[in-house]
Structure 1
Amino acid sequence: MKAVHWCVAAALAVPALPVLARDAAQDRHDILETETALCEAFENGDADTLRALLDERFVLTGSNGIPADRAQTIAEVESGEPAYDVFRNHGQTFHLYGDAAVVIGITSVEGKAGGEAFAADFQFTDTWVYRDGRWLLAASHATRVSAP
């Protein structure tokens, strides 16, 4: 019985360790700011930004239903095909789940592919993970929004 009392007393004597909780509003700001940087990277053909912001296991399921991994996504941006004049997210909703987050919204794009002009809107779902002190895009899925 004395051992039990000693363990309880010892546990109560240990100072509480500080909990390093992140601020949800700051997480939202950081993720949406990073989403903007990713859009700019696609628009400007900036593969280095993609390397910095895409998780090593990143997967993009495009509107054609075919998944592309991080290397394939970066290679496409490096190739300049398609070339984007506009790549913008809007209408986003944000859901935080501790060290994961989901952003849902619309991406509007304009540009050229195979020499042909295009313009389209895509409903997207992005999945983010908090790793090593920063948010990384782990997965993205896009579905073309039909014109009314």
Structure 2
Amino acid sequence: MRAFAMTAALLLAPTTALAQVPPDLAREAHEYERAQVEGDRATLERLIADDYVLVGGDGSRTDKAAHIAEFTAPEMDLQPVVVRDAVEHVWTDGAAIGGTVDVVGTFAGSPFRQTLRYIDVWALRDGRWRVVYGQATRVPAAN
């Protein structure tokens, strides 16, 4: 569950793309979000690069296999997210897409809610967009 706390929102890409995001990347980012929420292993396998690395707010590292295992665990039940403060930087063969999200769901029947700021780095490889890197930071609760 701790790994989920660091990574849940990291790979949840914005559902709406700004004009600068290429349409094919916007589609893949939307599919990536959907696949995480629904636990769609096949789509996650397709969209996450084999050399993927996710870094949590505590500096921990997660690889592709562990990340997919977390989102496809039968105990995981996520609600769709809404991205605030969207960040979208695009270059010829890559992009950084992220923002702030509230991750809400249950794990093994226990509810959780976290606010995270995240970034996903996408690379265009052999004509296909792949998530190659991610980082998430937990936002402290407001006092």
d(CA) in 1 for partners of 2:65, 2:82: 22
Match of 2:59 among 39, 60, 65: 65
d(CA) in 2 for partners of 1:32, 1:91: 17
Bigger Cα Rg: 1
Moved more, 111-120 or 45-54: 111-120
d(CA) in 2 for partners of 1:105, 1:26: 16
Aligned to 1:44: 38
When the two structures are aligned, how many residues end up with a matched partner? 124
User: What are the superposed Cα offsets for residues 20-73 of structure 1, whole Å, 9 maximum, x if unpaired?
Assistant: xxxxx5743332332222121111111111011111111112344321101111
- Please report how far the alpha carbon of residue 139 of structure 1 lies from its aligned counterpart in structure 2 after TM superposition: 0.6
Alignment of 1:57-136 (within 5 A): 57-136=51-130
Q: What amino acid does structure 1 have at the position aligned with 2:42?
A: D
> Is residue 147 of structure 1 aligned with residue 107 of structure 2?
no
> Is residue 137 of structure 1 aligned with residue 131 of structure 2?
yes
User: What are the superposed Cα offsets for residues 82-106 of structure 1, whole Å, 9 maximum, x if unpaired?
Assistant: 3212344343221123212112312
Greater RCO, CA 8 A, separation 6+: 2
TM-score normalised to structure 1 length: 0.72
d(CA) in 2 for partners of 1:108, 1:30: 26
Aligned to 2:10: none
User: Contact 1:39/1:89 (CA < 8 Å) preserved in 2?
Assistant: no
User: Contact 1:83/1:111 (CA < 8 Å) preserved in 2?
Assistant: yes
CA RMSD of aligned residues (A): 2.0
Aligned to 2:9: none
Contiguous gaps of at least 5 residues in structure 2: 1-18
TM-score normalised to structure 2 length: 0.75
Q: What amino acid does structure 2 have at the position aligned with 1:28?
A: P
User: Contact 2:121/2:132 (CA < 8 Å) preserved in 1?
Assistant: yes
Q: Percent identity?
A: 31
d(CA) in 2 for partners of 1:33, 1:111: 24
Structure having the larger proportion of residues in helix? 1
